[in-house]
Amino acid sequence: NDAMPSTSANAITAGTAGEVGGAKAAMDVMLGGVATDIGATYWFLEMKDWIGELMGSPRQYRPMESWSWIDIMGRPIGQNKGSCVLSACLMCLEAQHRLAFERRHGSDTFPYAIPRETAADLLETCKKAGVWTRKEGANVGKVLEVMQRNGGAVAWHEEGLEHCKLQIKSWERLPSPSSSSLARIMRTEGPLIGSLDVVRADYYAPGWQTRVYTGGSGKKKAVGHALVCMEYRLDGELIRVVDNHNWQGPVRWISKTAFRSFTQIKVEPLDAGALGIEVSWRRRLLRMLWREETFWWRQRRTLNKVWNKHH
């Protein structure tokens, strides 16, 4: 149903279904919940569109009122005094690779994360290439060019196995998309990099946690900033972002009108077989039942709880 509010708030409980449709309905909802936990949501939406095409209806992406990719976001990568663009590029790249991989293999199957060491290496590379300076910062497109030229970004395996490189296939700058276009892109393609100008005094004024940032009050004092856009609400044209100032991000809501542009990163899913990643449904089910939790998995879940508290 395209009126569903968000991926994290679409649950119909088995008890509710049982009251309405009896025991079979309750069982169907319970099994559907298990299927969703191991990654069926994407394929359900794909099948719905495919059936529509068979019946002669073209694919239609009617914008949903809201959508969230909070469940595929990794840990924030803190910036180093002006390296917000680098942090945003790395965080968005990791999220895009996690989304592409888990659309194929199911949720919580992507075992890699980009560490702070990769961010430090990228900063040095961008300095040498003249792409980043402490005074001016960097441009999103230029940083992505450097990353692509160097074969991507090094990511560490959650269980300490061999590292790999998360590569960039391409990217596209979206200077002024309409609200419905932006909603469609975020829903179907995943998180984006958002670029905007902020006035620090306004951005972190008292009460910022519960306030929507609509832009700075003094353009002369504004500085460029980049972060990851992971959620939207059409009502009010709001974008929820993961910032890069500390280990929690933090997360906050920003008005779409405050952004100068957005950038979409495109990737190819990693080859699970070539990397020796166990992704069978039996393995995923056992992991879910026996609660096999790695350090990074627990960190992501802790962050998820913190972010949802400030929703």
Are residues 47 and 108 located together in one domain of the fold?
A: no
Going by the DSSP 8-state scheme, the letter that residue 4 receives in this structure is -
Residue 147 maps to a domain = yes
Are residues 304 and 262 located together in one domain of the fold?
A: yes
Q: Classify strands 192-198 and 223-233 as parallel, antiparallel or unpaired.
A: antiparallel
Model confidence at 309, in pLDDT bands (50, 70, 90)? low
Residue 73 maps to a domain = yes
The predicted pLDDT at position 129 comes to: 95
Residue 281 maps to a domain = yes
Q: Mean of the pLDDT values across residues 183-189?
A: 93
Give CA–CA dist 62/184, Å, rounded: 8
Are residues 256 and 296 located together in one domain of the fold?
A: yes
Residue 199 maps to a domain = yes
C-alpha pair distances (Å), 24 with each of 1, 21, 29, 30, 41? 21, 7, 9, 10, 21
Give CA–CA dist 184/189, Å, rounded: 8
Are residues 34 and 160 located together in one domain of the fold?
A: no
Tokens of 284: 């995923």
Q: Mean of the pLDDT values across residues 136-155?
A: 95
DSSP result, 95-128: HHHHHHHHHHH-TT---EE--HHHHHHHHHHHHH
Model confidence at 217, in pLDDT bands (50, 70, 90)? low
Residue 43 maps to a domain = yes
Total domains, the chain:
2
Whether the Cβ atoms of residue 235 and residue 290 lie closer than 8 Å to each other: no
Residue 283 maps to a domain = yes
Residue 63 maps to a domain = no
Are residues 119 and 47 located together in one domain of the fold?
A: no
Tokens of 311: 């929703």
The predicted pLDDT at position 278 comes to: 61
Please give the span between the terminal C-alpha atoms of the chain, in angstroms, as a whole number. 23
Beta bridge partners of 228: 193, 242
Are residues 15 and 136 located together in one domain of the fold?
A: no
Q: What's the whole-model pTM score?
A: 0.75
Residue 118 has pLDDT above 80, yes or no: yes
Question: Three-class SS of residue 27?
Answer: helix
Roughly what angle, to the nearest 10 degrees, separates helices 140-149 and 116-128? Answer: 100
Are residues 173 and 33 located together in one domain of the fold?
A: no
Q: What angle do CA 33, 35, 40 make, to 5 degrees?
A: 120
- Quote the domain boundaries for residue 160: 69-309
Residue 64 maps to a domain = no
Q: Which CATH number fits the domain that encloses residue 175?
A: 3.90.70.10
Give the position of tokens 């191991």: 38
Which pLDDT tens digit goes with each residue over 30-40?
A: 555 544 444 55
Are residues 199 and 305 located together in one domain of the fold?
A: yes
Are residues 249 and 290 located together in one domain of the fold?
A: yes
The predicted pLDDT at position 12 comes to: 45
103 versus 27: which is more confidently predicted? 103
Residue 4 has pLDDT above 50, yes or no: no
